[in-house]
Amino acid sequence: MKKEKEVMEQGTYLPDEDLYILWLLIESKSFLNPEKITFGNLTALGSNEMRTVLTLKNFSRSFGFEVKGFELVRGKYAFDGFCASEYEKNQSFCKRMPDSPVAKALVKIHSGNFCFEDVARAGLRAREYLEFIEFSPEIIEKSKNLITDFVSQYLTDYTKDKLTPDRNNFYEFKKQMVITYGILKKYIDQFGDSFVFELAQLSIKQEELPKQKESPYLPIHNLLAFDAMNFIKIDQIWISDWETPPEEERGTYKVRVKIKQSLLDFFGAFDPKITYDFGIKTEDVRILKSDKIGDKLEFDDRTSTLFFADAEILISKQAENDPHELLRTIFKDRSKVWNTDEVLEDWKFCMEKDRIPKNKVYQAGKAVNRIVSQDTIIKDFLDVSTKSVSIKKKYLKS
C-alpha cells in the first residue's frame, strides 16, 4: 500500500494497462457482464492476466474496494480438461510442500472455496486457471469516488505535462495530441462524427530509440484525455468479441466514439502528419468500416469476393466451401428469402439419399456473418435461421 501511495503522490506516468483497469472499474457498463467478470475482462492490450491480478490487488488496497465472489466458471472440468496438466503438477507440489502458503492457496482454489488473496498468493502456479475464474469487484461509492477523482486529476496532470518523466519525454502531450487527432481525422473524413475503429499499440522505428522497450504512444491515456477534454465521447472500449474466434482476434482495441464539435474547433484547419517524429507505422492503425451501406453489393464467384459496405471481403481462399456456396446461391436472387431445403437443393443435395450435417446452411450463414464482421462493423449481413436465410432487407438497394 505504501508503494502504491508513493506512485500516486509522485505523479509519475502510470502504465497504459493500469489506467485501463482503473477506467473499467468506474465504467461498469464496459463489462460484458457487470455481475461477474474475469481477469481477462480487465487485461489491457499487451498485458497478461497474472499482471492484472497483482495490479488489481494493489488498487484494491489503495482505493479500499473488495474483490470477492470467486468461483470457477467450469468447475472441476477446468482441471479435468483444459488445465489437467497444470492441475497435476500443482497437486504434486501441494503434496511435497503442504505447509507452504502457495500450496495452501492452491488447495483452496482446487476445492472451489477461495478468495482473491488465494489467487494472488498462488501466483504463477495459478496462471492457467485464471481464464476459468469469475469474480465481482464490489466498489463502494466512497472507493468509486476516490478512483474517479484520482483518474480525473491524473489525466489533468497528463495533459499539462505535470507528470514526472523517467526518460526523454516521448509522452509529451503535444506530441500525443498530434498523433491522436491525426488518427481520428482519417475516420472523421470517411465516417462523420460517430464510428467504431480499431487501434493497435503504435510502434516506432527501432533505430530511433534502441533502448526504448515501451511504445511512446499511449492509446488509453490519449483516448481518456480527449474524452476528459470534451473532444470526444467514448461509448465503449473493448478488445475481444464473443463472436470472433480467438484465432481470428487481431490484438487491437475496438473503440466506439462520438466526435464533439470542440475537437474540430480546437484543431481548426490543422492538418496533422501521423508520423510526426516517431516513425509511427501507419499499418498498425486499422479501420473498421462504418455501417454506411456502399453502392455496390455483389458477389464475385470466381474470386470468392463479396463487395459490400465499401469493402472487398474475401469469403474463402479455397472456393466451394459452405460460406462461398451459400453466397453463390443467394446472389442468384439476392432479394429472395431462401428456405434451407431450397439452398440444399441448389447445392445438389438429395434430401432423401444424402446424409446432410445438421444445420449445414445455418452454420454457413453464421460463418458468412462472422467473415463480414471482420472487415466491417456489420454483424447481421445475413438474416439466418435454421429454416431460412437471406440478405437483410436494410442492406438491399431499392
Determine the pLDDT at residue 260: 93
Report which of residues 134 and 150 the model is more confident about.
Answer: 150
Of the listed ranges 129-138, 266-275, 364-373, the least confidently predicted one is 266-275
Cell 494497462 found at: 17
Helix (H) or strand (E) holding 197: strand 194-199
* Rounded-to-10 torsion of CA 3, 15, 41, 281: -170
Q: Please, which residues have CB within 8 angstroms of residue 393's CB and are 6 or more apart in sequence?
A: none
What average pLDDT does the segment 344-362 reach?
A: 76
The total of other beta-carbon atoms located within 10 Å of residue 4's CB is: 15
Evaluate the CA torsion angle 84, 85, 86, 87 in order and state its sign. positive
Residue 278 pLDDT level (bands cut at 50, 70, 90): very low
Helix (H) or strand (E) holding 70: strand 66-72
Residue-wise pLDDT tens digits, 223-258? 999 999 999 999 888 886 655 555 455 567 888 999
Q: Provide the pairing of β-strand 305-308 with 253-259.
A: unpaired
Determine the pLDDT at residue 273: 44
Report which of residues 375 and 350 the model is more confident about.
Answer: 375
User: Whole-prediction pTM value?
Assistant: 0.61
Residue 20 pLDDT exceeds 50: yes
Residue 288 pLDDT level (bands cut at 50, 70, 90): very low
Of the listed ranges 5-14, 144-153, 313-322, the least confidently predicted one is 5-14
Strongest mean pLDDT among 211-220, 281-290, 318-327? 318-327
Q: Residue 368: left if φ>0, alpha if ψ -120 to 50, beta else—which one?
A: alpha
Q: Which of 219, 221, 217 is nearest to 252 (CA)?
A: 219
Residue 1 pLDDT level (bands cut at 50, 70, 90): very low
Percent of the chain with pLDDT over 90: 27
Name residue 148's amino acid. Answer: T
Residue 65 pLDDT level (bands cut at 50, 70, 90): confident
Q: Which of 226, 233, 289, 288 is nearest to 258 (CA)?
A: 233
Determine the pLDDT at residue 277: 38
Percent of the chain with pLDDT over 70: 75
Q: Which of 20, 82, 81, 29 is nearest to 55 (CA)?
A: 20
Residue 3 pLDDT exceeds 60: no
**In contact, 326 and 365? CB cutoff 8 Å:** yes
The Cα 108–Cα 362 span in angstroms is 44
Cell 481464464 found at: 131
92: its cell numbers: 504434486
Residue 338 pLDDT level (bands cut at 50, 70, 90): very high
Cell 499499418 found at: 283
Determine the pLDDT at residue 85: 83
Report which of residues 353 and 322 the model is more confident about.
Answer: 322
Give the 3-state secondary structure of residue 199.
strand
Residue 311 pLDDT level (bands cut at 50, 70, 90): confident
How far from 155 is each of 19, 150, 224, 261, CA to CA, in Å? 10, 9, 8, 21
192: its cell numbers: 462523420
The Cα 31–Cα 219 span in angstroms is 19
Residue 382 pLDDT exceeds 50: yes
Domains of the chain (ranges; CATH) run: 2-138 (no CATH), 167-284 (no CATH), 298-395 (1.10.10)
The Cα 342–Cα 13 span in angstroms is 61
Q: Which of 13, 8, 26 is nearest to 147 (CA)?
A: 26
Report which of residues 397 and 18 the model is more confident about.
Answer: 18
Residue 339 pLDDT exceeds 90: yes
Name residue 3's amino acid. Answer: K
**In contact, 78 and 110? CB cutoff 8 Å:** no
Determine the pLDDT at residue 186: 82
Average pLDDT of the chain, as a whole number: 78
Residue-wise pLDDT tens digits, 97-136? 999 999 999 999 888 888 889 999 998 888 888 888 888 7
The Cα 94–Cα 118 span in angstroms is 14
